[in-house]
Amino acid sequence: GQNIDQPTEMTATEGAIVQINCTYQTSGFNGLFWYQQHAGEAPTFLSYNVLDGLEEKGRFSSFLSRSKGYSYLLLKELQMKDSASYLCAVNAGNNRKLIWGLGTSLAVNP
Amino acid sequence: NAGVTQTPKFRILKIGQSMTLQCAQDMNHNYMYWYRQDPGMGLKLIYYSVGAGITDKGEVPNGYNVSRSTTEDFPLRLELAAPSQTSVYFCASQPGGARGYTFGSGTRLTVV
């Protein structure tokens, strides 16, 4: 079957670093997306990893290991506005039917 | 650029009523999608389209219909609304390839 696992909730302190993990088991793999979704709003695109390794975009970085079926999103210098749900989604061979995780709700405390 | 525009933002329907959720994008994206999002259930794909005149079912198509007469518009039709269709509906578009989806702001639908 197709499965994506993410922790349900995480908490962190403003200014700190947090790592949100995503593990996947899918019949195929063409890439992995990370999206941010604030409460009551639409998801917004953060990153797309196709090859192994770390990709950095400002305060946010995303890592992929295809052999381990594992990815993480790293958020540095946390700000209160980073409190949101973070969704992991896998392109399992058909870009038109992504497999979505249930999301990790991150609370950033002062 | 407006991006992806969804209307209405909120709607309350009675059981058995019908309605159309509108979605329009001005980015000339070929791919468009309709998702529903329920608490604790994640995003579920209802229908998608790879271009004008072409649509296909996603994971949860029952009770819904779509059309794609133009590249810009991808309306979602609910016939005979049921309480199980109470959800937040998101439309999204994508240019294809290794690119992220752009989501609309969503429609909160309640069926009573």
Structure tokens given for B74: 């991808």
pLDDT band at A93 (very low <50, low <70, confident <90, very high): confident
List CB contacts (< 8 A) between A62 and chain B: none
What is the pLDDT averaged over residues B98-106? 91
A95 close to B (CB below 8 A): yes
B2 close to A (CB below 8 A): no
In Å, how far from its chain's centre is CA B56? 13
What is the pLDDT averaged over residues A79-86? 98
Q: How far apart are CA B89 and CA A18, in angstroms?
A: 30
List CB contacts (< 8 A) between B90 and chain A: 42-43
Residue-wise pLDDT tens digits, A30-49: 999 999 999 999 999 999 99
pLDDT band at A78 (very low <50, low <70, confident <90, very high): very high
Please name the residue that has the structure tokens 């998801």: A43
Q: How far apart are CA A96 and CA A92, in angstroms?
A: 10
Q: Is the pLDDT of residue B50 over 90?
A: yes
Q: Is the pLDDT of residue A8 over 70?
A: yes
Mean pLDDT, chain A, rounded, equals 94
Q: Where are the beta strands (DSSP E) in chain B?
A: 4-7, 10-13, 19-25, 31-38, 42-51, 54-57, 64-66, 76-78, 87-94, 102-103, 107-111
Mutate to test the interface with A, among B4, B49, B89, B103 (most CBs of A within 10 A): B103
